Structure 1
Amino acid sequence: MTGATDEAAVRNPRASKAPKKARTRRADGERSRQKILAAAAEIAAERGYDGTSIAEISRRCGLPASSIYWHFKDKDDLMATVIEDSFAAWNQSWEIDADENLLTALVAVAEQLIGALRAHPQFLHIGLPLALQKRSDNPRPRQMYLQMRENLIARFEQIGATHFPHVPESRRTAIITYLIAGAEGLIISHELDQSSDIEEVLQIHATSVIQVIMQEASAWPT
């Protein structure tokens, strides 16, 4: 087989180079895509969804608008991808084993969640303000954030059912609502006053959630 490949390369020198060129083009394309996503996330964090434009993204990332439209259908598609990628990265940054004693691991889990949020905050900074707006156009990034939020609730519900099946479902749901709504409220508060230490207040919130979980776990017989 090697001889046949070498013979083909002699007959057509370009044939042996084509795969390498294709890989280079794919790598260059992925680098461009990541530059566009990073610029879009950066601008949206500064100016919000409505203040973000393709022209400004092009200027910030140093790529022409045609390159942006090659990777993304429009601004909605681009911003929805920023939210989706950020949430996926955050969601994959923490894990709870089904066999793990969650009560003894709650502090470590809280630190994981906060650390992951510090590394991947874009879905909250962009999606949460959009979710709070009553918009007739209902842009896709808003829909994406609300869908990701539902997915997160479902994940927490599964964790609660696995580790605390003896606690009534209504109580588990209330704790999850308190956990998510509290974190979102603290993010909004930080946006209004960015001199606040968001990590510190999130840690305080996590401590209060842990206390509630501990109380509920002991209040109901197994």
Structure 2
Amino acid sequence: MSAPVELSTTTAPHNTPQDDATAKPAPKRRARNRRADGERSRQRILDAATSIATERGYDGTSIAEICRECGLPASSLYWHFEDKDDLMSQVIGKSFDAWNAAWNIPEDEDILQHLPQIAEQLLDALENHPEFIRLCLPLALQKRSDDPGPRRMYLEMRADVIRRLSDIGATHFGYVPEARRTAIVTYMVSGVEGLFVDHEMNPASDLREQLDLHAMGVIAIILQEASQHPS
């Protein structure tokens, strides 16, 4: 008679919910991690491009230098940006949007008494977000056959600023002749650009002091016009 077969009492191992959770990330979590990693890489590239281009300008900035600065391969850069033109346009657009969002002039207030505070708000925003003007102004002054995207972008942004300031002038100083308001806005914008050009040629100059003086001159002109053309 054969010996009885001994049945094993060992049960098959099974995963607990905790084991399942730690075994490998869920698909949604992996997707979130990839997106977060991608956004961090994109920001590193933008930061590196901003740092180099602010110091060396558009033409002095190369893809190779940007990759060395951010520690990422060129393939990563081209994953996020089509080319150097696209990357620099993103840098400029981000700077301009930050500057544009950092100041506001209410439409329903008499702003004559607040012109110094408004000027300070504008200049603080420009001091904190100067990249768009530092990078693009030299390009705007050049006549180039390639006409890079950042140059076109700056001219469009400049026109937007002039329109915004012109609308503010029409709202608060509609009694001043339109041609005169246009001349004041043009003087305001061109004066700021001229001081940035001067600072590029003479880096030792105090740019903020020069901008403050320019703002004082613009305020004096506005007050004079307001007194000559009472509402």
TM-score (norm 1): 0.91
Map of 1:117 onto structure 2: 126
Q: After superposition, where does 1:47-126 map in structure 2 within 5 Å? A: 47-126=56-135
Write 1 or 2 for the structure with the bigger share of helix: 1
Q: 1:8-29 CA deviation, whole Å, 9 max, x = no partner?
A: xx99999982222222222222
Map of 1:144 onto structure 2: 153
Q: Is there any run of 5+ residues in structure 1 with no aligned partner, and where? A: 1-9
Q: After superposition, where does 1:8-47 map in structure 2 within 5 Å? A: 17-47=26-56
196, 201, 209: which one aligns with 1:187:
196
In 1: Cα distance, 2:24 partner to 2:175 partner: 65
Q: Which amino acid aligns with 1:104?
A: Q
Structure 1 residue 134 and structure 2 residue 134: aligned? no
In 2: Cα distance, 1:105 partner to 1:28 partner: 45
Q: 1:129-179 CA deviation, whole Å, 9 max, x = no partner?
A: 000000011000100011100110110011001111101110110000100
| Deviation, structure 1 residue 38 | 1.3
List 4+ stretches of structure 1 deviating above 4 A: 10-16
Map of 2:9 onto structure 1: none
Q: Which of these two proteins has the greater Rg computed from alpha carbons?
A: 2
In 1: Cα distance, 2:219 partner to 2:44 partner: 39
* Alignment RMSD: 2.0
In 2: Cα distance, 1:64 partner to 1:11 partner: 35
Q: Which amino acid aligns with 2:201?
A: L
DSSP 3-state at the match of 2:145 = coil
In 1: Cα distance, 2:27 partner to 2:172 partner: 53
Q: Percent identity?
A: 59
